[in-house]
Structure 1
Amino acid sequence: MSNVCLSGTKKLKLLITGGTVLALLFSMSLLLADKASAHGNVTNSRAGLCADRVNTNCGLIIYEPYSLEAHKGFPAGGPADGKIASANGAFAPLDEQSATRWSKVNISPGPNTFNWKIKVPHATASWKYYITKQNWNPNAALTRDSFDLTPFCSVPYNGQMPGNTYSDTCNVPSRTGYQVILAVWEVSNTLNAFYNVIDVNFGGNVDNVAPTAPTGATVSNVGATGATIAWNASTDNIGVTGYRIFNGSNQIGTTNGALVANLTGLTSNTSYTITVKAIDAAGNSSAAGNAVTFTTLPVSGPDTVAPTAPNSLHVMGRSTSTTVPLMWNASTDNVSVTGYQIFRGTTLIATVSGSAVEYLVTGLTANTAYTFTVKAFDAAGNVSAASNVLNVTTPSASTTYPAWSATAVYLAGNKVTHNGVNYEAKWWTQGETPGSPNAGVWKVIS
């Protein structure tokens, strides 16, 4: 059965993090520089609960739960069987599967809301949600056969750009006991998607009790572009897992249980009204605590501070023989970042706005090595140091064969193209979709 989602929401403008978490993330970024940069995750997913320290022995995913990225097209494409939870093995501990390995979110059939925290927004094709079959084996590796391969919730997004938070309320089908939900965020302008598994329990004691509101919020260290907010701990019938920080009605950040947050990237000489809400592992949110109002200081004198260097420059998706899709983590500045300069070697090839964190390089030559860097600049003309150097070799120009047809008959040696991949038939076939788990007749040739 398939149900269309009921609603979607989107919020978030500024980056906030607890001081200790920020320092730890910065130190870990050097270790993780060659991995996918930040993108997005479901807040109570297996990876999200690892980051919140509810799940244990998770490996490096605790530092970037938003980086579970693999080719899109599930179930015909996407992560391999046995590597679905880790999005093809980059964070292998997530693929450890047993009935007791992971903490579970209590759930009931019917409307349930799935909340995404999005670190880097992308133009989006769709959001899809799958659930395991009632009789799946929780002590075996997650495979396609574990799931009902018709999504119970599918939301077309038609290339729209979500905000830094996004929610879908979906009608979850009836199940009992331990089940796994697979949430898939498909990007529209690359070949990739983001995969999150959510461990849920039907028929358990559903936690509907929200934490108490945080009290005693105060502000200190107010500057032109930053301030520090602190508050007293909330209580909960099971346990508080984190806090959400709001400016007015806009959520502008979270902490993973820390009682202090360093606000950065604020606008100078501007009034802010900050409140804090507590959340628990079931997603219950408290009422807002007391409001803290302050005005950031004006910037005095000429701006001579350059933005920080962009980091984690990487290829987002797949390069072609003539194009390379670049992506990087945003820079920060004492006032604001105005734009980014993209370099091929030492040649400036493009300039994009300060809100952009990706650029498609075109006009390249097949089977050729290239070097790319990115620099940030501000309105005063200050330019950052260069990002990490990204070396890319474009693939050889590929041959495109006739598109696969479900009604055509193919013989051994016939070649077709399906979903951008070239296949060759091993023997006679008709109606078997290339790339599907049971279509062993087709082999990938490019």
Structure 2
Amino acid sequence: MDQVQCQTNHRLHLKPLWIFLGSTLLFFTIMIITASSVSAHGYVESPASRGYKCKLGENVNCGRIIYEPHSLEGKGNFPIGGPADGQITGAGIFTELYEQTPTRWSKVNMNGGPNTFKWVLTAAHATSDWKYYITKKGWDSSKPLARADLELFCSFNDGGKQPPNTVTHTCNVPTDRTGYYLILAVWEIADTGNAFYNVIDVNLNNGSGNQDTQAPTVPANLRTTGVSSSSISLAWNASTDNVGVTGYEIYRGSNLVATVSGSTLSHTVTGLQAGTSYTFTVKARDGAGNVSQASSPLTAATSNPVPDTQAPTAPAHLRSAGSTSTSVSLAWNASTDNVGVSGYEVYRGTMLVTTVSGSTLSHTVSGLSPNTTYSFTVKARDAAGNVSPASNELQVTTADGSVPETPAWAPNTSYQQGALVTYGGKTYECRQAHTSLPGWEPANVPALWLLKS
């Protein structure tokens, strides 16, 4: 009987533990699923989408999308759901991308017919489908994009599969229109109810044929035009392209440090270390996203910093701001320096008594003797150790610190409350103001005098 009871109790004690472990496992499973669901991000790299062109610097005044072209995520199930009309191009989030005029955005030159669209997924996730829309003939390019402006021309169903990090689709772009059109690429996520919206501004050529696949020529004659201890200025000759160069990418080693427009042939790389060699290359790109080979590498070194040898100016108008029998308070006007004043040195005679910060313009010298004359000066110094000439010399005499003798009580004398007197070898304090009379000696009139010692 005892054994059965023990086993029963053991099971009862284990039951809460299993419930706790099961709940914890379920919580973390939900967290992992949720994290995976919200981490799906991606953008159309080629032909370069509006948001990606913002990151490349080919579109300007784009807002924060320059840092996150992969984040154009909004409600899904387009066109039944999704961002409101007028907000589609910014996924209902990035308001700068809502703007729409015939000249507002950099365009990709494209021929009608088979064209390849390349998505770069920074975080892939289960996908429902991919859809490609184009604006209708006669759409008004001066108004924000609406659903009524679009027609579907290409789609792919993934059935909930998770795609690779790079996805390409070949679609037949309509050949019955010419000029400025928008292509809207939509990536529908399978299990979040969201979708990603990338609009591509295209200059569509009438007729069939593949899109521009010819890369620009390599930028030539990469050279330095100036160096400092923290920057190197670069310049290069223009590249050529069958359609047109839209930008240049500047690399330091393998790191992309800047992208400039196709009409810019120079750039200054900043934030470098003094006396250090760096290797640079430049690549050209066109509106279709084709990128040239890298230029010949250029190695250049920043200069060593010029040592600071200039001392600050002397502190002016050294003055006393007050004194006691044991201290003197000093103040002075600020010095100036070519780099900056880092501190002030306070001297008593030839002895350095303290150093204060460069933002402090006063100091109290303590530990002095009463009724003594002292001489003070102040010097300014900078971070390089340069020290200014001394300020004007200031002489200050401390107050007399001696305690005056307590007077003896006398008749016919006016006394104020708190006054001290001696009488009969003792000290008394006046309780209330009065004029003394014979017989009102302190020992005899406790109403007027308080014995102190």
Q: Same fold (TM over 0.5)?
A: no
User: Radius of gyration: which is bigger?
Assistant: 2
Higher relative contact order (CA 8 A, sep 6+): 1
TM-score with structure 2 length normalisation? 0.43
More helix by share: 2
